[in-house]
Amino acid sequence: MRTSSLTAMSPARHQRMVTSCESATPAARAVGLGQRRSEHALTDRSVPTLNSPSQKSLQPRSTAEIQRFRSEPGGVLPPPRCRAKQGESEVEAPAVFLEISGSSAKDLPVAQRRLGPMTLRNQPWIIGRRHQKEFLQRTVKEESLEFISRDHFAIAYREGSFLLLALSQNRIWVDRGKVGIRSLQQDEMMPLRPGDRILLGTAPDDATSTRDSKARLDWLFQIQEQN
């Protein structure tokens, strides 16, 4: 099973990124440096709205950062994790996995529809045909493979939180059950929580579209339990 990995980084570039990371506030480090905060309203009126102010704010990536990310296979999403200060310990990212289902998924046992576990540490986990080609061919119906982009979305772990970044021009949705469904356009990012479902589909994002029309592919995000 293929997963994305970090490319080689020159010592000078790595030092610049580490220096930037160390000088930023925790909130800035968690979403990338120098990014403008924007409001992104819930557009699907058929589900409850998200009331938490922190959940209404998505952080668009800078154009230069997105271009650099796309130009490097397995490119860096946020800056590398900051080095722990003397006397502090670094918190390792827990192992996570994605479980695929939906009308476009093949009828297979759960174990065969599960991708991972993956420990993110310094690198994002990029999902798409370019990275999980064999897995997707095994688990997704052939006629639906075209709906999955080469780089569709990425998951990263920073400052004790998981982040989801939409990479594809095809809109994605995040389903939080009773809390509601949020849509993400290309280059938008939001926090990701265990139990969230990342939905891929073809329905327009309007008041008449339903969850089922969005969830041609449903990726359940979970943390692996430690023994």
The per-residue pLDDT for range 180-205, each reduced to its tens digit, is 999 999 999 999 999 999 999 755 44
* Assigned token pair, 198: 């990342």
> What are the φ and ψ backbone dihedral angles of 138, each rounded to 5 degrees?
-80, -30
Tell which wins on pLDDT, 209 or 82. 209
> What are the φ and ψ backbone dihedral angles of 72, each rounded to 5 degrees?
-115, 120
pLDDT for residue 152: 96
Count of positions (residues) in the chain = 227
* Assigned token pair, 151: 């780089």
Q: Cα separation of 50 and 146, whole Å?
A: 31
* Assigned token pair, 25: 């506030």
Question: pTM of the full predicted structure?
Answer: 0.62
Which amino acid type is present at position 133?
A: K
Domain limits, the chain: 11-223
Its CATH architecture, for the domain 11-223, is: Sandwich (2.60)
Tell which wins on pLDDT, 212 or 44. 212
Of 163, 188, 158, residue with least CA distance to 25: 158
Considering Cα of 177, then 179, then 181, then 182, what sign does the dihedral take? Answer: negative
pLDDT for residue 201: 78
The pLDDT of residue 153 is above 80? yes
- Residues 94, 119 contacting (CB under 8 angstroms): yes
DSSP 30: H
